[in-house]
Copies of this chain bind each other. A is one copy, B any other.
Amino acid sequence: MGKIKVAAFSVSLDGFGAGQDQGLENPLGVGGEELHTWIVTTKMFHRMTRKEGGTEGVDNDFAEKSMENIGAWIMGRNMFGPVRGPWPDNEWKGWWGEEPPYHVPVFVLTHHAREPLKMKGGTTFHFITGGIESALEEAKKVANGKDIRIGGGVSTIRQFLQAGYINEMHLVFSPIFLGSGEQLFSGIDMSALGFNQVQKINGEKATHIIATKS
């Protein structure tokens, strides 16, 4: 079986994984885009968003690697879109256009049932109302021995962390202070959860941390 992992997840110096007031105007919350400067400038991200150019180097290598060998994704509903409450219709199809960058099944945690949504390029969004265990079970069925990536946001990652399911965390510390928003580590004892192997790799715009259980 593959790993259950978090990859390329951006965190501010004060521990926030997203800014405040997420919504259509600010998908990552106020100030949240700055968290991701390290990735949006890379060659990988340019290619993914069908643009020319982009930087090569350590940050790009990590960006590329974060998309490799993934058999399924799990994400919180807020990462899928700004719609809250019951789905009014099937109009919202994610932030990523007709062909999302996943190319595998993506399990979206929600309290509100919805039919699976098949997109171009191999991505199908499945809406899971049974919580993280149920999402993990479904993801394992289709991951085909590859890794399962817990995409985000903060609340989803915290749930998987606290339940002990995550084997590997690749966090990317961006040199900014967000001041408010969703704090990744608040009340979470990474060391007590067993993440005692910590590797630091300096990127061009951010610091990469790989935490695994010892």
Interface on A for B, CB 8 Å cutoff? 13-15, 31, 171, 173, 175-180, 185-186, 188-192, 195-196, 198-200, 202, 206-207, 209, 211
Contacts and interface: CB of A to CB of B under 8 A. Distances in A.
A180 B192 CA distance: 9
B211 A191 contact: no
Contact of A202 (B185, B188, B202): B202
A199 B175 contact: yes
B198 A189 contact: no
Given A13-B190, A173-B207, A175-B209, 8 more contacts: A14-B188, A15-B185, A175-B199, A176-B198, A177-B211, A179-B188, A180-B189, A202-B207
A207 B176 CA distance: 13
A191 B15 contact: no
A18 B205 CA distance: 27
23 contacts: A13-B171, A13-B173, A13-B198, A14-B15, A14-B188, A15-B15, A31-B191, A173-B173, A175-B198, A175-B209, A176-B191, A176-B198, A177-B189, A177-B198, A177-B211, A178-B191, A179-B188, A179-B189, A179-B192, A180-B189, A200-B206, A202-B207, A207-B207
A172 to B, nearest CB: 11
